[in-house]
């Protein structure tokens, strides 16, 4: 029951963040997908939100079970006869379930294959056998016993955390951040800002907030004139304008930065403001500066 609840919660969060319809919510029009699910599941160190994808968690646990089977269990359990009668009739070899050790022998330090067939080869099959022998001759056969090695861990043993990180990165490799986003997004989580403010700025740096300019782009606001800034009305309500250069907001930034003894060039933008706060220390005054930055962001939410 708890697994079902966790799965449904995962589906709800995925649909809520992507903007789709959730099976837990009432039916309605599809919402705007402000942030892709791949970016949400990407690790924070890579610029993502760090939400765990249950598909990767499931594969991680299955991998742990499989590793125990092949490394600590009876080898016969891992190589049991998995051929059905219908399949075995189509396989020429009588060694379909044999191990490498059972398909050859050592003669004066050299490995010789001993392949066995259930019938005589047809006219065209010796050429295929020759190609097979060429492939097998390129393989190196060792006299030592084989063992399993997990390449994602320096110790060679299966580890849950490195496996999960490897799976998460492999499933989100198609997610591409810009050079500026790749530089700044991981730093969002290393600030003194509260978590709610950090998530808000994570979306802001990607321009994934419902500003009037974005709503006009998505067709929510049909009239381009309605995309003007709600505070000053002097320019389009973009992220850089609303949270930087707007004459109703920029004085607040200058006052905060001047109080923190931080100099900033007149052209205020989201990236410039974030870079300015990144250069601060970790004193009480600097921590308060991060909180004040959150207050400026919350002012937009109240509009």
Three-state SS string across 218-253, please? CCCCCCHHHHECCCCCCCECCHHHHHHHCCCCHHHH
Q: Give 20's pLDDT tier (boundaries 50, 70, 90).
A: very low
Cβ atoms 17, 40 nearer than 8 A: yes
Report the pLDDT value the prediction gives residue 24, as an integer from 0 to 100.
35
- Neighbouring residues of 131: CB distance < 8 A, sequence distance ≥ 6: none
Rounded mean pLDDT of 42-60? 82
d(Cα 223, Cα 240) in Å, to the nearest integer?
A: 21
Report the pLDDT value the prediction gives residue 155, as an integer from 0 to 100.
81
Report the pLDDT value the prediction gives residue 94, as an integer from 0 to 100.
84
- Neighbouring residues of 180: CB distance < 8 A, sequence distance ≥ 6: 271
Cβ atoms 223, 206 nearer than 8 A: no
d(Cα 35, Cα 39) in Å, to the nearest integer?
A: 7
The string of DSSP codes covering 7-28 is HHHHHHHHHHHHT---TTS---
Residues 254-283 as b/e (b if ≥16 CB within 10 A, e otherwise) read: eebbeebebeeeeebbbebbbebbeebeee
pTM value surpassing 0.75: no
* Of 42, 45, 60, 272, nearest in space to 176 by CA: 42
User: Could you report the per-residue pLDDT of 222-268, keeping only the tens digit for each?
Assistant: 777 788 888 888 888 888 888 888 888 888 877 877 777 766 655 66
Q: Give 187's pLDDT tier (boundaries 50, 70, 90).
A: confident
Collapsed DSSP state (helix, strand, coil) of residue 117? strand
- Long-range interactions of 24-28: CB distance < 8 A, separation 24+: none
């Amino acid at each position: 029951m708890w697994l079902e609840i966790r799965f449904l919660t995962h589906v709800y969060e995925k649909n809520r963040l992507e903007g789709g319809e959730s099976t837990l919510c009432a039916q309605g029009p599809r919402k705007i997908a402000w942030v892709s699910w791949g970016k949400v599941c990407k690790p924070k160190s890579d610029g993502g939100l760090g939400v765990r994808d249950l598909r990767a968690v499931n594969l991680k646990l299955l991998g742990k079970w499989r590793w125990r089977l092949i490394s600590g269990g009876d080898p016969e359990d891992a190589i049991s006869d998995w051929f059905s009668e219908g399949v075995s009739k189509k396989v020429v070899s009588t060694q379909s379930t044999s191990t490498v050790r059972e398909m050859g022998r050592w003669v004066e330090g050299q490995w010789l294959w001993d392949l066995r067939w259930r019938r005589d080869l047809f006219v065209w099959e010796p050429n295929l056998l020759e190609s097979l022998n060429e492939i097998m001759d390129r393989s190196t056969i060792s006299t030592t016993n084989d063992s399993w090695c997990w390449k994602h861990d320096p110790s060679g043993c299966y580890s849950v955390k490195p496996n999960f990180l490897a799976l998460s990165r492999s499933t989100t490799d198609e997610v591409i951040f810009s050079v500026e986003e790749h530089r700044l997004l991981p730093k969002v989580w290393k600030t003194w800002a509260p978590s709610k403010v950090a998530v808000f700025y994570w979306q802001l740096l990607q321009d994934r907030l419902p500003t009037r300019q974005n709503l006009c782009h998505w067709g929510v606001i049909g009239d381009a004139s309605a995309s003007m800034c709600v505070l000053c009305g002097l320019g389009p309500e973009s992220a850089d304008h609303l949270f930087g250069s707007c004459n109703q907001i920029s004085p607040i930034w200058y006052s905060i930065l001047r109080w923190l003894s931080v100099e900033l060039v007149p052209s205020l933008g989201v990236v410039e403001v974030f870079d300015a706060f990144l250069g601060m220390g970790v004193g009480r005054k600097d921590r308060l500066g991060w909180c004040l930055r959150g207050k400026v962001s919350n002012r937009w939410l109240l509009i």
